[in-house]
């Protein structure tokens, strides 16, 4: 793997793509440190230290939310819009027809996704600014009253523009760099936060209990990374045979290949769905915490305590939701791929299974069985930080399941793309 990286820097056009990607990542990190005026950074740090529910939004902003920069929302609204668009495709025939029109259809769907991102970013920005105002993080600022309407609107426009700027940078990386641009931006934000997290771990003291906790914590982290790689790369190969056909005196088909059904077809999307729903009650509790009605304040306190990530019931509900969303999203993706119809149209069949409806039933059964492994794995990954902290005594979000899935997944995907580029150039040199 390391040799492939050095070989990539020896090839001029690959070196240019890598440097282009690194340069845009540096631009992103600079943008992430441009704060919005009127924010008390000390109170903002205290808010993040005492509120783990903001961790997911900070993750997708690449750490920019913790400084409340113009890129505080990161690419999270774009990811939400992409998920909504993907779920709408089976429901709206027009969108499904566009998805089958090749490059032009994909460009049109991407345009719709970008348009949907703008109102989502504006609404999310309003929610975040309202939360910061209620937490006394925004100094001398009342949101959208008669005197501050224009400054409030300008603030939300700046946050929305920061999100769209990151989306544009991500698309530039996808087109001219290496890897998926949006994923690499999230990857860059997570990696940039690692030195501070490691410094916090190492600075926790030098007692034997603390050292043993750190060692056990590191072992759990390594085992988790190995598990992520194995599950992400795990596939069930379904053999497919192409019938022999004779046309114009020439024989076609007769070959055998396979359909790779992934153990974890849903990726990290179920975690995003589940966390987004789990965060919602906590956000409501924070809005009601400053209410003038006493019973609303009591209800907010009880809700915040029940939905705290440090409680057992929260993690049980979280686990069940991740498992459920994994099955849901996997089946949505499988229905969109239309594998049985494609096999029947191409004259292919699974040995021992009749084409058409029987093939669809067979593939659904196989996918349901192997998805159980992926769903349980994602569920365990989701609640692992809670049990790891109890086991090791190291209270940190460094082992966040979503963070590890993104880091490992993006690293594997990027290295696979580099390897494909290197193989293509080696084959070209061999032919010459």
Q: Is the residue at 423 inside a domain?
A: no
Share of residues in the chain with pLDDT > 90 (%): 8
Say which range, 53-57, 153-157, 186-190, 407-411, has the weakest mean pLDDT. Answer: 53-57
Domain boundary, last residue among 152, 180, 198: 198
Same-domain check for residues 193 and 208: no
**What is residue 86's predicted lDDT score, i.e. its pLDDT?**
79
Contact 432, 19 (CB under 8 A): no
* CB contact set of 273 (below 8 Å; sequence gap of 6+): 83, 321, 325, 329
**What is residue 370's predicted lDDT score, i.e. its pLDDT?**
92
Average model confidence (pLDDT) for the chain?
77
User: Is the pTM here over 0.75, yes or no?
Assistant: yes
Pull the structure tokens for residue 56.
């997911």
Same-domain check for residues 158 and 266: no
Give me the CATH number covering residue 186: 1.10.3370.10
**What is residue 398's predicted lDDT score, i.e. its pLDDT?**
46
Same-domain check for residues 178 and 212: no
Q: Is the residue at 404 inside a domain?
A: no
DSSP state, 420?
Answer: H
**Residue of higher predicted confidence among 251 and 86:** 86
Q: Which structural domain, as residue segments, surrounds residue 193?
A: 1-198
Confidence of residue 395 (pLDDT cuts 50, 70, 90): low
Distance CA 218, CA 214 (A): 6
Q: Is the residue at 72 inside a domain?
A: yes
Q: Is the residue at 144 inside a domain?
A: yes
**What is residue 56's predicted lDDT score, i.e. its pLDDT?**
58
pLDDT tens across 266-302, in order?
Answer: 877 787 777 777 777 766 776 676 667 778 778 877 8
pLDDT tens across 107-132, in order?
Answer: 888 899 999 999 998 888 887 787 77
**What is residue 107's predicted lDDT score, i.e. its pLDDT?**
85
Give the Å distances, CA to CA, from 389 to 113, 190, 223.
38, 20, 16
**What is residue 429's predicted lDDT score, i.e. its pLDDT?**
39
**Residue of higher predicted confidence among 350 and 280:** 350
Same-domain check for residues 186 and 231: no
**What is residue 432's predicted lDDT score, i.e. its pLDDT?**
42
**What is residue 431's predicted lDDT score, i.e. its pLDDT?**
40
- Tally of domains in the chain: 2
Distance CA 394, CA 388 (A): 8
DSSP state, 52?
Answer: G
Distance CA 294, CA 296 (A): 5
Share of residues in the chain with pLDDT > 70 (%): 78
Same-domain check for residues 272 and 142: no
pLDDT tens across 138-187, in order?
Answer: 665 566 677 777 878 888 888 899 899 999 999 999 888 888 888 888 88
Say which range, 284-288, 362-366, 426-430, has the weakest mean pLDDT. Answer: 426-430
């Amino acid at each position: 793997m390391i040799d492939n990286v050095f070989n990539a820097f020896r090839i001029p056009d690959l070196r240019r793509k890598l440097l282009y990607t690194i340069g845009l990542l540096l631009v992103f990190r600079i943008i992430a440190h441009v704060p919005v005026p009127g924010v008390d950074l000390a109170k903002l740090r205290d808010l993040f230290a005492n509120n783990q529910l903001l961790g997911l939004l900070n993750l997708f902003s690449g750490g920019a939310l913790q400084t409340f920069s113009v890129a505080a929302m990161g690419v999270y609204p774009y990811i939400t819009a992409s998920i909504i668009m993907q779920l709408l495709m089976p429901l709206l025939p027009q969108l499904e027809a566009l998805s089958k029109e090749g490059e032009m259809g994909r460009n049109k769907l991407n345009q719709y996704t970008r348009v949907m991102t703008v109102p989502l970013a504006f609404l999310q920005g309003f929610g975040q600014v309202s939360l910061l105002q209620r937490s006394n993080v925004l100094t001398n600022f009342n949101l959208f009253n008669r005197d501050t309407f224009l400054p409030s609107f300008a603030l939300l426009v700046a946050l929305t523009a920061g999100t769209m700027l990151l989306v544009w940078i991500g698309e530039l990386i996808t087109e001219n760099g290496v890897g998926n641009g949006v994923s690499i931006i999230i990857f860059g934000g997570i990696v940039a936060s690692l030195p501070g997290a490691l410094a916090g771990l190492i600075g926790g003291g030098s007692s034997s209990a603390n050292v043993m906790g750190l060692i056990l914590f590191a072992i759990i982290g390594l085992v988790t990374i190995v598990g992520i790689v194995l599950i992400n790369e795990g596939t069930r190969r379904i053999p497919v045979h192409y019938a022999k056909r004779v046309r114009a005196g020439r024989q076609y088909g007769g070959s055998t290949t396979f359909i790779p059904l992934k153990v974890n077809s849903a990726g990290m999307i179920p975690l995003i769905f589940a966390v987004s729903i789990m965060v919602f009650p906590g956000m409501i509790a924070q809005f009601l915490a400053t209410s003038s009605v006493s019973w609303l304040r009591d209800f907010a306190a009880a809700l915040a305590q029940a939905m705290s990530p440090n409680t057992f019931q929260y993690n049980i509900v979280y686990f069940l939701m991740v498992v459920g969303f994994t099955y849901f999203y996997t089946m949505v993706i499988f229905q969109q791929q239309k594998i049985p119809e494609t096999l029947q149209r191409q004259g292919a069949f699974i040995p021992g299974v009749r084409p058409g409806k029987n093939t669809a039933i067979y593939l659904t059964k196989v996918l349901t069985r192997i998805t159980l492994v992926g769903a349980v794995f994602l569920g365990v990954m989701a609640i692992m930080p809670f049990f790891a902290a109890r086991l090791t005594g190291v209270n940190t979000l460094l082992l966040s399941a979503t963070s590890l899935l993104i880091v490992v997944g993006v690293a594997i995907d990027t290295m696979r793309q580099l390897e494909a580029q290197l193989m293509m150039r080696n084959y070209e040199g061999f032919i010459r």
